[in-house]
Chain A
Amino acid sequence: QKEVEQNSGPLSVPEGAIASLNCTYSDRGSQSFFWYRQYSGKSPELIMSIYSNGDKEDGRFTAQLNKASQYVSLLIRDSQPSDSATYLCAGFSGGYNKLIFGAGTRLAVHP
């Protein structure tokens, strides 16, 4: 069983729409979660971190964490073509040393 799971996509949304990216995790002890954006040929770039239940907003990005459901999501409002990338969800497994990543969801924003 994968410890961090994401739908690989592609998720296609029109420019200006809301993109919703989802992630589930299996380690109930996990407290910290992260969303990374990875453009083709580039290394992952941190865009959001979330440590407690509820929503966390940063500009056009909102991360949501529901520990009871073991669910993390990322909403991108007013999606732009420049948001087209692979989005990786990450969380800790077996304590706070091993950060593991989901398979990533490929997002395509079309004009």
Chain B
Amino acid sequence: DAMVIQNPRYQVTQFGKPVTLSCSQTLNHNVMYWYQQKSSQAPKLLFHYYDKDFNNEADTPDNFQSRRPNTSFCFLDIRSPGLGDAAMYLCATSRAGGREKLFFGSGTQLSVL
């Protein structure tokens, strides 16, 4: 049974048209992450939530926002997608603590036309 669920699996949007990607978890983990993975590259952390506390990475563009309305759900909002934002977006969760593993969803592949 999937524990970190991302919808949709594939998302197509137009240049400049806002888009929202969603993630839900059944693990009741404190921490939720969003990673961006471009083709043949390593996943890059955009931001994470520790409970309700939002933590942005220093190099994450302002174009990327996130919301976490409750423990189970987390959203990635791209306000004005550019062609360079086409990528796989990975959601992950973990318990608090530096020794805990991350559980990843299957990802949403975003295309920008």
Tell me whether A and B are bound partners.
no
